[in-house]
Amino acid sequence: MTDLSYLAAVRESYDTVAAAYARQVTFPAELDPLSRAVLAAFAEDVRTAGRGPVADVGCGPGRVTAHLAGLGVPAFGIDLSPAMVELARQAYPGLDFTVGSMTALAIDDDELGGILAYYSVHHTPPELLPVVFGEFHRTLAPGGRLMLAGHAGTGEHLRPTQAYGGRPVSYESYLTPPDRTAELLEAAGLVITAQLLEPPGEGTKRTVATFLARKPDSSNTPDTPTC
């Protein structure tokens, strides 16, 4: 039986820090040029494929969801934290935001044209990443796109007690090696089309790994990487 008890700590922690998080986190328009370019490329790819809407999983206060919508993508947000979802609804009343977990998405099979997991899977214990990536594969339409971005490492397990201005948190974070993330995405049936590794430097203290992937159009016909 899958142990999802860690979700309670993630939910409670982000409910606690939601307002401070929204004050401190950068708006997408203020991101570095490379991050903006990758988000724009993902949005264009989804629009071109035309397979359905994009779910921004772990959407937080909804800023990246709104950014995608501004790029012409039908997007909606899902977050484990009710406080985050409420902030998103207040800030972007024209978009849909719901409370939910990426471990069990309340979405039909083959429904999504895209999934964005933007700095949102690092609280998932590594042994449960196959559950999350399996949900991504299940809910993506054939030919649907995935963008996964976040901090990577060499398997570090972080247990912070404070975050976002000293507010108490009980979540844990895992810095999965990029090669392992790639292996798990492929094991879930997703085809990686591009991978970007940004070493620590200005603006980040950790390696950032970004993956673009897609669900094959047919289980019998492998996709050819686009880049």
153 and 179 in contact (C-beta within 8 Å)? no
Q: What percent of the chain has pLDDT over 70?
A: 94
Query: In the predicted model, is pLDDT for residue 223 greater than 50?
Result: no
- pLDDT, position 221: 43
Query: In the predicted model, is pLDDT for residue 176 greater than 80?
Result: yes
Query: In the predicted model, is pLDDT for residue 127 greater than 60?
Result: yes
Residues forming beta bridges with residue 191, ordered by sequence position: 214
- Stretch 183-208: mean pLDDT: 91
Name the average pLDDT for the chain: 93
pLDDT in tens, 53-100: 999 999 999 999 999 999 999 999 999 999 999 999 999 999 999 999
- pLDDT, position 203: 64
Residues in Cβ contact with 59 at an 8 Å cutoff, skipping those fewer than 6 apart: 65, 77, 78, 79, 84, 85, 88, 97, 120
- Stretch 192-204: mean pLDDT: 87
3-class DSSP state of 6: helix
3-class DSSP state of 192: strand
- pLDDT, position 153: 96
Q: How far is CA 65 from the centre of its chain?
A: 11
Residues in Cβ contact with 63 at an 8 Å cutoff, skipping those fewer than 6 apart: 25, 27, 28, 91
Q: What percent of the chain has pLDDT over 90?
A: 89
Q: pLDDT class for 162, splitting at 50, 70, 90?
A: very high
User: For the chain, which domains are there?
Assistant: 6-214 (3.40.50.150)
pLDDT in tens, 26-52: 999 999 999 999 999 999 999 999 999
pTM to 2 decimals? 0.93
